[in-house]
């Protein structure tokens, strides 16, 4: 099934796991991620100043972060807002996995930009992931990717720890994509 077909099917779905929305407090307030899940947290400085925060926010919420990490994205809207459904395509051709998600929350304040989304039926994993850029008092912009998840399909259970490796690699690729966007804004 193509990504557009998965998107159409997923529009009526809702996240079906406990702790829906928990990435918001974890990403914005430093709350712990829910117990009983695999956790991911990766954070790096990606730029400095308000222009870098703006660039990071546009990259994150406009799906350029995903595309810059080599992930195909089909979404119900061009910008991540609450209620938007997205399907990420991971892999190539017949080996592409469709990963449908729903945007659960958005941060668009003077010092923080980003969003969190939760998995929908058919996603290889179950849980949430958040992407947040924050402008610190020191002027540095720090990008954080955090997630709580567990295997949602037989094939992710079969490969076990390799899924965690893929998630860590993807988190670093997301950060690199946002760093490139910030660097372009500094050169503009």
What is the per-residue pLDDT across 27-47, written as a single tens digit (0 to 9) for each? 999 999 999 999 999 999 999
Residue 80 sits in a domain whose CATH number is 3.30.530.20
Instruction: Assess if residue 14 is contained within a domain.
Output: yes
Find the domain containing 97 and state its range.
3-27+37-187
Instruction: Assess if residue 32 is contained within a domain.
Output: no
Question: Lowest-pLDDT range, 87-96, 101-110, 128-137?
Answer: 87-96
Q: How far apart are CA 179 and CA 60, in angstroms?
A: 11
Place of tokens 């779905």: 13
Packing angle, helices 50-61 and 161-187, rounded to 10? 130
Instruction: Assess if residue 51 is contained within a domain.
Output: yes
Residues 6+ apart with CB under 8 A from 184: 55
Tally the domains of the chain.
Answer: 1
The model's pTM is: 0.94
The confidence band for 119, taking pLDDT boundaries of 50, 70 and 90, is very high
Instruction: Assess if residue 173 is contained within a domain.
Output: yes
| Alpha helix segments (H runs only) across 30-143 | 50-61, 64-68
The confidence band for 158, taking pLDDT boundaries of 50, 70 and 90, is confident
């Amino acid at each position: 099934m193509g990504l557009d077909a998965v998107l159409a099917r997923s529009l009526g779905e809702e996240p079906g796991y406990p702790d829906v929305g928990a990435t918001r407090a974890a990403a914005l307030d430093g709350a712990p991620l829910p117990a009983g899940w695999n956790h991911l947290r990766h954070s790096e400085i990606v730029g400095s100043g308000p222009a870098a925060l703006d660039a990071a926010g546009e990259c994150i919420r406009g799906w350029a972060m995903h595309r810059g990490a080599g992930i195909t994205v089909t979404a119900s809207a061009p910008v991540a807002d609450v209620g938007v459904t997205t399907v990420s395509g991971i892999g190539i051709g017949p080996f592409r996995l469709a990963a449908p998600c729903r945007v659960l929350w958005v941060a668009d304040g003077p010092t923080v930009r980003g969003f969190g989304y939760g998995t929908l039926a058919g996603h290889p994993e179950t849980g949430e992931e958040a992407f947040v850029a924050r402008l610190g008092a020191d002027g540095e912009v720090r990008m954080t990717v955090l997630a709580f998840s567990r295997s949602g399909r037989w094939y992710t259970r079969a490969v076990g720890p390799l899924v965690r490796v893929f998630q860590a690699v993807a988190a670093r690729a997301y950060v690199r994509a946002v760093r490139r966007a910030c660097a372009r804004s500094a050169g503009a």
